[in-house]
Chains A and B, each alone.
Chain A
């Protein structure tokens, strides 16, 4: 919850929201993506902000999907939440900026969300840095 949203939700206004009719198609889309992932291994990413939602509808989708076993937090240009839903293979990925404002919200249908896997570009550099650190530690020990 951003500060702005907290403040807004504090205003006791109730408006009737007609369903857009987009909740169930989106859940079906997720279902189809999940079937495809199971059959062919092909992952899918769905942008939750891409279709109109009446107030409360996004919460209904998130509520329907429930929560699973894994919750990961990424710290890169502000926090990101990567949460597995009650349906393995369906992940909710929310990106925040440094001011904790939501930048983007995705449903990722994959065995591992892209951002959780170590980027290949970093692997080479990582191995190099580890061996350098080991050398330094070793020479320090010998120095003592």
Chain B
């Protein structure tokens, strides 16, 4: 193992002086391998194949950034997902592209050694490291509900964020609060963006996010810097498309052919799952094209509707098996009307607290939020 292993003190000597191109040549990686790697990256980052030369040129000059990964109120599902990435593999990413200096599940060091590695990396790369967070942050009772080495998640996040170049919130918990924030939110869980206001934050939601989307966002940051984000802080390259629009079962929807139960003729024939609660129409993610398990399949292809896990508050939207049309808003018409009302009084952008372009999507969400409040 190289000195870039995420292992205690050895990481303090991270070789950030060589560019990726130089490092790959030094390791005997052929030009063809490098170009193949770039082509796979382009496909994974949902970029046009014509971008391969630009990716190659950018990666050639890139330097390994120090990455500090903090896990807060989470289930480790996001890390499990990360380790399933096949393009690039997490090993490939750690050894070739980034210097993962702290990740309490993956690192070999433990106890004081581990915390020392985090402090040293923060000091050595102050202002330059990439901070990755998975899990939400409990705020109730001074944040005592989740601590690492006796430090509350809140204190650790604030300290680590101060020296970060940018923050990547991996998973719906870090991005939007996730399951810990679900009603009645006993620990007062919030998202990273609710606490940190002065750093660029990239949200990579999903429960968990698609493996190659996690590594793809890191690769994108490495190659081109901050990616273009939508109004919910998600990279448009991966979250720019609607599940329903990209779903191979969409033709059944158009023809009005729906599965009514999970074992009827329609279900067996692979018809549209809209009536069984599929949230595809209001969900933005790459599942329908990138798919899961090395491109094998995705939930809808396996016969289950989308639960909308990359959207804020997906857990409190009235049930995974209730059709969108009979959701909290009653009917599709009701949903459309709600969107109209939201737009009229500008509730969307106000509630979301984000600048500019709150689209219809955001307004529907705002209305859902308001409904939730009213129910309390």
Contact surface of A with B, Cβ cutoff 8 Å: 2, 4-5, 8, 15-21, 45-47, 49-55, 57, 74, 76-77, 80, 95, 97-99, 101-106, 114-115, 119, 121-122
Contacts and interface: CB of A to CB of B under 8 A. Distances in A.
Contacts of A55: 248, 301
A103 B40 contact: yes
Contacts of B40: 95, 97, 103-104
Contacts of A74: 32, 36
Contact of A49 (B33, B268, B290): B290
Given A74-B36, A103-B40, A104-B44, A122 B270 contact: no
B263 to A, nearest CB: 13
A19 to B, nearest CB: 7
Interface in B13-48: 29-33, 35-37, 39-40, 42-44, 46, 48
Interface stretch (B75-83, B202-210, B224-232, B249-257): B249-257
Contacts of A114: 35, 52
Contacts of B247: 52
Contact of A16 (B46, B270, B301): B270
Interface stretch (B136-144, B154-162, B189-197, B291-299): B291-299
B289 A49 contact: yes
A91 B40 CA distance: 17
B49 interface: yes
B87 A103 contact: yes
Given A49-B295, A52-B288, A104-B42, 7 more contacts: A18-B255, A45-B52, A52-B247, A52-B289, A95-B39, A97-B86, A103-B86
A21 B248 CA distance: 9
A97 B87 contact: yes
A114 B52 CA distance: 11
B13 to A, nearest CB: 27
Given A15-B268, A16-B269, A102-B294, A46 B49 contact: yes
Contacts of A21: 251
Interface string B261-297: 0000000111100000000000000001110011111
Interface residues of B, number: 43
A122 B28 CA distance: 12
Q: Which of B43, B252, B290, B297 has the most CB of A within 10 A?
A: B43
Contact of B296 (A4, A49, A97): A4
A76 B270 contact: no
B89 interface: yes
Interface of B: 29-33, 35-37, 39-40, 42-44, 46, 48-50, 52, 86-87, 89, 246-252, 255, 268-271, 288-290, 293-297, 301, 303
Nearest to B266: A16
Given A77-B36, A95-B36, A104-B43, A17 B295 contact: no
A122 B251 contact: no
Contacts of A45: 49-50, 52
A95 B43 CA distance: 11
A104 to B, nearest CB: 4
B289 A15 contact: no
Q: Which of B36, B48, B251, B288 has the most CB of A within 10 A?
A: B36
13 contacts: A4-B296, A17-B248, A18-B255, A18-B270, A45-B50, A49-B289, A52-B247, A57-B248, A74-B36, A77-B37, A95-B40, A105-B43, A106-B39
Nearest to A76: B33
B43 A18 contact: no
A77 B248 contact: no
